[in-house]
Amino acid sequence: MAPGHMARRVLITGANGGIGFEVAKQILAKGHNIILTCRDASKAEKAVALLEPTAKVSGGSVEYAILDLANLDNVRLGATSLLNRHPKLDVLVANAGVMSNAPPGAPLQRTVDGQELTLQANHLGHFLLIHLLLPALLAAPAGRVVVVSSELHRKVKGVEGSSGSSTSGSSNAQGLTDIHPGGSGATASPQWLPRLSTAGTSSGAPTAPAVATAPAATSAPPPPWATAPPQPCPLSGMQLYCLSKLYNLWFVSGLAARLPPHVTANAVTPGWVPGTSLGRDAPWLARLVYQNVFPLLPITVSVPEGARRVVAVCLGEAEGAVRGGYFSRGKQAEPSAEARDKAAAEELWRLSEAAAGIAPGAYVPAEGKAGPAGAQ
């Protein structure tokens, strides 16, 4: 730690491997204190053991917390434990994410909360976690929320309006299409969140069984004929991932407008980093190519470089002065037109509050709300 600089406490979700682990390592090397959140205790313990030598050299510290973003009750329990242990938090990095290789029409995967798995793990779980940990961020002299997004958010396109401009949000809710006419991805709309949840299932339609994120019950499973067939998902796993990355940017837009001046929220993409475990659910040959051949391509980014870009937004002085920004290729950039749709961002905010069980207008504690320009 450089003289005159205070050690910061940084929480990173999904940090037992990949970009999250490397971000933790680089921040830890600067003498800061790291909290890794992971779903699996054994993997978390291994990650901590690998980071402890760096902590000893730098004077920082590393610990872990168990947190499953695909289970909102687990998020609530984990956040309560974290607040009890650490009433002040300087930086929260929303890094964890999942990506499926399922094709369109594959069975819709839902969590125990009835939400589509990718949208909950990549967006809604973080939405709730950050809400619950805001008291700790507000207690810091200069808190930061850093959401890891992706350039793949540009694949999600709005519907062409009569003026020829691309639009998204509630104006297109009734005309929501499964696939953008150009074929590049899902239509940009917040309405995918309720539509793909159990709340959005039409009357009489079969629902998919929830994805198990907690220890299974000891009772015997129901016989196959007693279980409704899973509902097909109109989007592929990649389209869901791209959509979740757009949701990240809409979330950051809404959050930055609501936070007081001493707490910032920004999004960052580390770039295309194929050396991580993000594609771990792909077939073995595709996974082998993704993790060992793609990293050799000149258009890809190494894990250390991708992490460095995230670390800059977490700790950089210039980056700390930005509110509601998007950083790509190591500098502030303009996201897609769809990502800049304020009405869509506000609609997603309302839908996310409802899905996470947060009262309207209660996301930021009263004592920490922004002034009139950012008031809810």
- Spans of all domains in the chain: 9-156+229-356
Summarised one tens digit per residue, pLDDT across range 251-296 is: 999 999 999 999 999 999 998 766 555 555 655 455 554 455 445 4
Tens of pLDDT along 190-211? 999 999 998 765 433 334 434 4
Question: Average pLDDT of 58-65?
Answer: 98
Q: Give the per-residue pLDDT at 64.
A: 98
**Single pTM value for the model:** 0.84
CB-side neighbour CA atoms (13 Å) of 145:
33
Q: Is 367 exposed, middle or buried (0-12, 13-18, 19+ CB in 10 A)?
A: exposed
Name 92's bridge partners.
11, 145
How is residue 190 written in tokens?
Answer: 């917040």
CA 304, 305, 306, 309 dihedral sign is positive
What's the confidence (pLDDT) of residue 1?
Answer: 59
User: What is the CATH number assigned to the segment(s) 9-156+229-356?
Assistant: 3.40.50.720
Q: Give the N- to C-terminal CA distance of the chain in Å, as an integer.
A: 39
